[in-house]
């Protein structure tokens, strides 16, 4: 029993709070406290020290690898075994050789991940466009630094960045690399942290440098003028969308659409795909095409194979006889990753804090950081030159009496008294005296001393110039601009990703053909409810049902495949087909268009126009007396897009929208009791959808264009009284017999 009691006492332990407990025993703890104590430090470490890049464009793993290679002399020397580099990097990055080598692979020229690789590689480093092509082991490959790395380490020894201890305090390493160009936008970077991620696309080096220069000269510079879009190492096409691009440049979030590049070989009746989107791989494309062929959705292909070789990527598609290659590629773009999206999330560490920034903000932060680097370099140079100047001024004092200096040294009995005696004899300080004392006997002559002291004036001028630069924002900007120009000239290269400005997404024509077509009657209510009723159902139905307070706006004969243009109060147009709506009945309310089309909050239906074959035009009439005649074809797209922004002008409130197949006579009514009759032929069609139009009615102060109607529906009897051959027209006062209300009065008798 005594022994058992003793063992129990030995297991007792006192924790940091002074509470006695048994080793191995459990204690209750709130889950929130556990997360805060144990998980939060891990999460912050992943965010700050692993997954998110910093303003120099590198994660810590990249920086440690490149700095190790720099210290190994691999910027100017020959290649060495990758295994050697990996081993030495572990003194800065203790995360295992596999992780370090994977980092090197991604930075290597052979892998083709980056537009401007930082590692000059020899051997098999795999390919970014291949999922299954494995890279060789580090013992088989060799590497050194690419010449562009000189821009990463320029002036790193001039105190441009902070140096800190490595994990075991045996070495120093930089917190950032003093890159002379905005590498954060030039090098693609992806990282997944805890609760956040980062995905930065690559931009063309020359375009980025030009944009940075332009913004430094003019903060209001339009970035899109010098930076039209990203540039990817795998090439392909970028489908340009100005609104999307501006949103990404502004917010740092959004998606760019990419498309593969191909050409048709007539001799072999085959298609060769040579460049694919950066966000996919050749194996994924091959698997998807095989899946579609097996499912019977693609019947035009007889064979597809991967013919990638040393010359680069090549996917070959053998076509069956009579197949149109353009139509097939449009179909493949729609159904496979041959057209894909790159989702942007410009999340960057700024002063240790993760921030999602737009392109302009990133360049602003980089410029501020680079300015600080240049200031530190100049200050370091000033200190070095001042130290040298201080020594030379001490040497200059000796010129007054060289014999005296020799006599002091010769007559001093003790070695440690030489410096104090020189200090007393010439009135110089200890540093200057040490410098004089260390001069070789052969150099203690007038010629040598004059030659050395002649540099004093030059040093003083250089120091003054450096101080002027240090205190001048304009000169500091010019220094950075000159560096950017040199980098762009030396390392700039043509774009690899071609921009398609007029590209449209390919609509699924095959799907249109499968939609059944039959006559229907369309009913639209004033509050935006739509009913599509077949002829048979209409014959059997009774009175049309509407929501309380709602009524019929208009009805029209159409077919199931008819396309509708739904214009809203927020200057947008939604495209839809009647086939997207279920056949209804008169007793039902119908589909609520704002909900069915996914409109924005507060958005309501202004007018619905039948597009037909996109002939004719849409007429917009505004309260300010203007009218815009826009061809119906302006709303025709080859895409399956449902939402068109900027559908009409927002400069004045809308009075009415009319869809017209041909020119007709219109009756216009103003709020001050005037009316005018004009012909739409007097209006010239406008090519842009959001045109403000032209004035059709001259309005008096506070009057507005209140309504418009086709002449035959207006009820105007004396047409010649209101007709005008020119526009704008003031119109004439509306007489009671020509008022549209008279028809209602007569009908009520």
Task: State the Cα–Cα distance between residues 389 and 387, nearest whole angstrom.
Answer: 5
Contact assessment for residue 56 and residue 176, using Cβ atoms and an 8 Å cutoff: yes
Residues 6+ apart with CB under 8 A from 169: none
Omega before residue 444 within 30° of 0, cis:
no
Distance, CA of 676 to CA of 696 (rounded, Å): 9
Q: Which of 42, 140, 167, 501 is catalytic?
A: 140
CB burial class (10 A; 0-12, 13-18, 19+) of residue 706?
Answer: middle
- Whether the CA torsion 703, 709, 713, 719 is positive or negative: it is positive
Helix (H) or strand (E) holding 245: helix 242-251
Question: Could you tell me the CA-to-CA distances from 70 to 66, 154, 710, 745 in Å, in that order?
Answer: 6, 11, 79, 93
Which two three-digit tokens encode residue 411?
């007559």
Q: Are 173 and 204 in contact (CB under 8 A)?
A: no
Tokens of 165: 């201890």
User: Is the link from the previous residue into 363 a cis peptide, with omega within 30 of 0?
Assistant: no
Report yes or no: 255 and 244 within 8 Å, Cβ to Cβ.
yes
**Helix ranges restricted to H, 132-196:** 150-153, 183-186
Q: Strands 732-733 and 591-592, how do they pair?
A: unpaired
CA 668 to chain centre: 48
**From CA 463, how far away is CA 386, in angstroms rounded?**
7
- The per-residue b/e assignment along 479-489, b for 16 or more CB within 10 angstroms, e otherwise, is bbbebbeebbe
Q: Distance between CA atoms of 245 and 254, rounded to whole angstroms? A: 8
Number of other CB atoms surrounding residue 584 within 10 Å: 20
Q: In what order do the strands lie in the sheet with 563-568?
A: 605-610, 563-568, 573-577, 643-644
d(CA 246, CA 688): 20
648 is catalytic: no
What is the three-class DSSP state of 429? Answer: coil
At 9, give phi and psi (nearest 5°).
-65, -35
Helix (H) or strand (E) holding 422: helix 418-426
Extract the tokens encoding 709: 């109607």
User: Under 8 Å CB-to-CB from 712, ≥6 apart: which residues?
Assistant: 665
DSSP 724: -
Q: Which residues are marked as active site? A: 140
């Amino acid at each position: 029993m005594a022994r058992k009691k003793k063992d129990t006492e030995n297991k007792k332990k006192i924790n940091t709070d002074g509470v006695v407990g048994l080793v191995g025993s459990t204690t209750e703890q709130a889950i929130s406290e556990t997360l805060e104590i144990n998980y939060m430090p891990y999460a912050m470490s992943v965010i700050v020290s692993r997954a998110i890049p910093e303003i120099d464009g590198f994660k810590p793993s990249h920086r440690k690898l490149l700095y190790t290679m720099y210290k190994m002399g691999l910027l100017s020397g020959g290649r060495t075994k990758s295994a050697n580099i990996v081993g030495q990097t572990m003194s800065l990055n203790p995360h295992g050789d596999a992780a370090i080598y994977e980092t090197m692979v991604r930075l290597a020229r052979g892998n083709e991940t980056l537009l401007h690789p930082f590692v000059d590689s020899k051997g098999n480093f795999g390919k970014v466009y291949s999922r299954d092509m494995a890279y060789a082991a580090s013992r088989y490959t060799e590497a050194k630094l690419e010449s562009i790395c000189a821009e990463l380490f320029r002036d790193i020894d001039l105190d441009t960045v902070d140096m800190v201890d490595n994990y075991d305090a045996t070495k120093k390493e930089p917190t950032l690399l003093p890159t002379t160009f905005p590498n954060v936008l030039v090098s693609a970077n992806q990282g997944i942290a805890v609760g956040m991620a980062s995905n930065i696309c690559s931009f063309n080096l020359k375009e980025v440098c030009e944009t940075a220069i332009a913004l430094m000269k003019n903060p209001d510079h339009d970035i899109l003028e010098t930076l039209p879009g990203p540039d990817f190492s795998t090439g392909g096409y970028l489908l340009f969308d100005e609104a999307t691009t501006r949103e990404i440049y502004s917010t740092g979030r959004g998606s760019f659409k990419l498309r593969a590049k191909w050409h048709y070989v007539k001799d072999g009746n085959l298609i060769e795909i040579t460049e694919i989107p950066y966000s996919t791989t050749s194996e994924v494309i091959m698997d998807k095409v095989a899946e579609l062929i097996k499912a019977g959705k693609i019947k035009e292909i007889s064979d597809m194979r991967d013919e990638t070789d040393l010359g680069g990527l090549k996917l070959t598609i053998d076509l069956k006889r009579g197949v149109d290659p353009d139509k097939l590629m449009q179909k493949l773009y729609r159904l496979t990753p041959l057209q894909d999206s790159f989702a942007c999330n410009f999340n960057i560490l700024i002063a240790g804090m993760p921030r999602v920034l737009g392109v302009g903000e990133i360049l602003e932060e980089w410029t501020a950081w680079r300015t600080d680097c240049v200031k530190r370099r100049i200050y370091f140079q000033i200190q070095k030159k001042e130290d040298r100047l201080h020594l030379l001024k001490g040497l200059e004092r000796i010129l007054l009496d060289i014999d005296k200096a020799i006599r002091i040294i010769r007559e001093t009995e003790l070695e440690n008294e030489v410096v104090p005696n020189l200090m007393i004899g010439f009135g110089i300080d200890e540093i200057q005296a040490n410098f004089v004392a260390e001069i070789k006997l052969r150099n203690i002559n007038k010629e040598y001393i004059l030659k050395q002291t002649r540099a004093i004036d030059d040093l003083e001028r250089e120091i003054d110039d450096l101080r002027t630069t240090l205190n001048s924002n304009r000169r500091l900007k010019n220094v950075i601009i000159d560096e950017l120009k040199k980098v762009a000239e030396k390392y700039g290269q043509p774009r690899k990703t071609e921009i398609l400005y007029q590209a449209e997404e390919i609509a699924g024509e095959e799907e249109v053909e499968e939609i059944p077509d039959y006559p229907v009657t369309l009913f639209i209510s004033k509050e935006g409810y739509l009913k599509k009723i077949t002829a048979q159902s209409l014959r059997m139905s009774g009175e049309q049902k509407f929501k309380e307070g709602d009524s019929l706006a208009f009805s029209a004969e159409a077919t199931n495949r008819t396309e509708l243009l739904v214009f809203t109060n927020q200057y947008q147009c939604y495209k839809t087909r009647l086939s997207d709506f279920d056949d209804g009945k008169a007793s039902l309310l119908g589909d609520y268009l704002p909900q069915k089309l996914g409109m924005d909050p507060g958005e309501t239906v202004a007018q619905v126009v039948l597009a037909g074959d996109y002939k004719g035009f849409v007429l917009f009439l505004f309260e300010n007396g203007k009218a815009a005649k826009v061809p119906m074809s302006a709303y025709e797209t080859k895409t399956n897009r449902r939402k068109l922004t900027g559908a009409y002008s927002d400069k004045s409130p809308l009075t009415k929208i009319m869809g017209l197949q041909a020119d007709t006579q219109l009756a216009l009514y103003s709020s001050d009791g005037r009316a005018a009759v004009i012909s739409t032929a007097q209006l010239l069609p406008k090519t842009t959808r959001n045109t403000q139009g032209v004035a059709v009615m001259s309005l008096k102060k506070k009057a507005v264009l209140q309504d418009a109607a086709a002449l035959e529906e207006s009820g105007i009897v004396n047409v010649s009284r209101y007709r005008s051959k020119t526009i704008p027209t003031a119109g004439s006062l509306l007489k009671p017999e020509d008022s549209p209300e008279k028809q209602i009065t007569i009908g009520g008798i």
